[in-house]
Amino acid sequence: MKNSISKKTAYAGAGAGLVLFALFGLMPGSLMGGVAGINIAGWLFGLPLEPGLIPRVIVLASMLAGVLVSGVGIVTATSTLGWIFGRTLEAMVREKAPAKESKTYVTAEKRP
């Protein structure tokens, strides 16, 4: 089945996940990644951090990683939920079997 219900609902779930990520995942992912980056840079260079290039790059990379992990997690979860919802719909809705073709037999005419 090329266009199954579960495939359509998985795409709808992924779209909803992107919206949810934009609303609720972007800022927290950035915040948690930034905190992790500050901790990593603090372990390497000592706290308080000096305004050097390498600590800033470490914090930036951690913020991007936090946003990426947040996005992947939210979109994967919502598309999986959409797929599961579609599979349950497919299980509940049975497709109609194609109607049997009526066979018509051509018989020869009776001649007197």
Q: Which residues does 27 contact at the CB level (< 8 Å), separation at least 6?
A: none
- In whole angstroms, give the CA distance from residue 31 to residue 67: 9
Interior CA angle at 15 toward 11 and 68, to 5°? Answer: 110
Q: Where are the domains of the chain?
A: 5-92
The residue with greater pLDDT, 96 or 80, is 80
Q: Higher model confidence: residue 106 or residue 48?
A: 48
Closest CA to 17 of 73, 89, 84, 85: 73
**Residue whose tokens read 């800022």:** 27
Question: Residue 22, CB half-sphere, CA atoms under 13 Å: how many?
Answer: 5
Q: Which of the two residues, 68 and 90, has the higher pLDDT score? A: 68
Residue 94 has pLDDT above 80, yes or no: no
Rounded mean pLDDT, 73-81: 97
